[in-house]
Amino acid sequence: MLVYTSDIRKLRKAAIKEVLFTFLPLAILPLVDLFIKTDLVWDSYYPLAGVFALMALIDAFGRSRLLRLTFDTEREEIILETTSIPLLIKKKVLPFSETTLQASSPVTKSQRKWNPLTLTFYRNRKIMLVLSSAKDGLSLNTLEEIRENVAKYCQPISSN
């Protein structure tokens, strides 16, 4: 049985960064307007900023992040434990015979820096989980190991 676990500290750090980079730009303009007394903020700014912030929160809570990935060779299945909202853990079981993996690498250099490899797990052509180092806190070596184990136990891998 092989077990891969995400670093919880990295996941929390990524979530905090995401929230800061979402709300900080929205708060800067009203703060500048408050202290300098300019007309930078118009009346329709606040509802627009509220809608944008709500959409960003829904997007952040909608992403599935990996907590633990287990290769159970006795029962011939992959067990994925994911979370989208803190404290809500989902468990998905993928049989080896029905699981395929697509490994993709980005084209541009800037994308390669943040996301060098993305693994997409499929069960009967349905996307079950997308793994990346930026979103899930896994190192490139760990992603490569997962890719090799899926190639060993499951159906052939497609690459882009």
Which residues are within 8 A (CB) of 26 and not within 5 positions of it... i.e. 6 or more apart?
49, 52, 53
- Number of compact structural domains in the chain: 2
pLDDT of residue 109: 65
User: What are φ and ψ of residue 159, in 5° steps?
Assistant: -125, 150
pLDDT of residue 115: 66
Based on the fold, state whether residues 30 and 87 are members of the same structural domain. Answer: no
Least confident segment among 37-41, 98-102, 117-121: 37-41
Of 20, 35, 61, the residue at which a domain comes to its end is 61
pLDDT digits (tens, 9 = 90+) for 80-106: 988 876 668 889 998 988 888 888 877
CB atoms within 10 A of CB 23: 15
Distance, in Å, from the CA atom of 28 to the CA atom of 9, rounded to the nearest integer, reads 28
Of 43, 61, 79, the residue at which a domain comes to its end is 61
pTM: 0.71
Based on the fold, state whether residues 152 and 103 are members of the same structural domain. Answer: yes
Element (H, E) at 66: strand 65-72
Which range of residues forms the domain containing residue 74?
2-6+64-159
pLDDT of residue 111: 60
pLDDT digits (tens, 9 = 90+) for 124-147: 888 888 888 777 778 888 888 888
Of 26, 46, 61, the residue at which a domain comes to its end is 61
Based on the fold, state whether residues 76 and 29 are members of the same structural domain. Answer: no
Based on the fold, state whether residues 53 and 72 are members of the same structural domain. Answer: no
Based on the fold, state whether residues 31 and 57 are members of the same structural domain. Answer: yes
pLDDT bin (cut points 50, 70, 90) of residue 156 is low
47, burial (CB in 10 Å: exposed 0-12, middle 13-18, buried 19+)? exposed
